[in-house]
């Protein structure tokens, strides 16, 4: 029987590409986002609030009861809001923390409780986690937390032989970015499918020796 892959944030441009990559290799995919919606063939679509630990716990309980425990988990939920430390407002900082770090944290908590030996997690961070510049303070700090969460959880789950890695995209070639940015700025943007192929590799037995890695997927930017 094929493995179950849980993709949190599966409705976004990158999340959709990851879902498609995992489907192509034969996984049974559970795609999670806030709105739900029509799922492509072979995908189970779940709508829930990924910032809610209670809703994530309930999802894993349902999957367990149906003998659908994932072997692979991807945490791709997130979003960007600009701002400096000086001009930050509490609500905006909390929003960035919940959306980028909180979603990964609560999903990783459930994965750490349920994943079988030989399973793997891939968290989606951002280049800003290690090269944050002016104008993205709360986002950069939250994504840095995702990178550190990845390393901590990799150490915690090593004895169980569960791998935990992260990728750090930079600029992604998405419809939203094409609509809002000049063509010159997108010259070195990376296609979602190319990033998804890295995720699929890390969620495979071919990457059995890789855990605790923070993998840049910047392309030539």
**Host domain of residue 109:** 4-217
- Can 218 be counted among the known catalytic residues? no
- Residue 73 phi, psi dihedral angles, 5° rounding: -135, 130
Give me the CATH number covering residue 133. 3.40.50.720
The β-bridge relationship of strands 4-8 and 43-47 is: unpaired
- Residue 38 phi, psi dihedral angles, 5° rounding: -70, 130
* pLDDT reported for residue 94: 98
Helix (H) or strand (E) holding 139: helix 137-157
* pLDDT reported for residue 183: 86
* pLDDT reported for residue 181: 86
Q: Which of 21, 70, 139, 200 is catalytic?
A: 139
* pLDDT reported for residue 39: 64
Consecutive sets of 10 residues in the chain, 221 residues long: mean pLDDT of each?
A: 94 95 97 77 92 98 97 96 95 98 98 98 97 89 98 98 98 88 88 97 98 96 77
Nearest CA to 107 among 199, 32, 29? 32
Distance CA 167, CA 165 (A): 7
* pLDDT reported for residue 41: 78
Structural domain total, the chain: 1
Question: 3-state DSSP call for residue 29?
Answer: strand
Tell me how crowded residue 91 is: count the other CB atoms within 10 A of its CB.
8
């Amino acid at each position: 029987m094929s493995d179950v892959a849980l993709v949190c944030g599966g409705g976004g441009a990158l999340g959709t590409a990851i879902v498609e990559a995992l489907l192509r290799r034969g996984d049974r995919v559970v795609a999670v986002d806030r709105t739900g919606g029509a799922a492509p063939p072979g995908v189970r679509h779940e709508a829930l609030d990924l910032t809610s630990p209670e809703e994530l716990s309930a999802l894993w309980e349902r999957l367990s009861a149906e003998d659908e425990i994932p072997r692979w988990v991807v945490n791709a939920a997130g979003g960007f809001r600009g701002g400096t430390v000086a001009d930050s407002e509490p609500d905006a900082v909390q929003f960035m923390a919940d959306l980028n770090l909180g979603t990964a944290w609560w999903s990783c908590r459930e994965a750490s409780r349920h994943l079988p030996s030989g399973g793997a997690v891939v968290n989606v961070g951002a280049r800003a986690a290690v090269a944050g510049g002016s104008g993205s303070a709360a986002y950069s700090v939250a994504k840095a937390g995702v990178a550190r969460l990845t390393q901590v959880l990799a150490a915690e789950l090593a004895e169980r032989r569960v791998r935990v890695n992260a990728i750090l995209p930079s600029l992604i070639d998405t419809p939203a970015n094409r609509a809002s940015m000049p063509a010159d700025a997108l010259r070195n943007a990376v296609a979602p499918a190319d990033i998804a192929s890295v995720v699929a590799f890390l969620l495979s037995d071919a990457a059995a020796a890789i855990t605790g890695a923070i993998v840049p997927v910047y392309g030539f930017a």
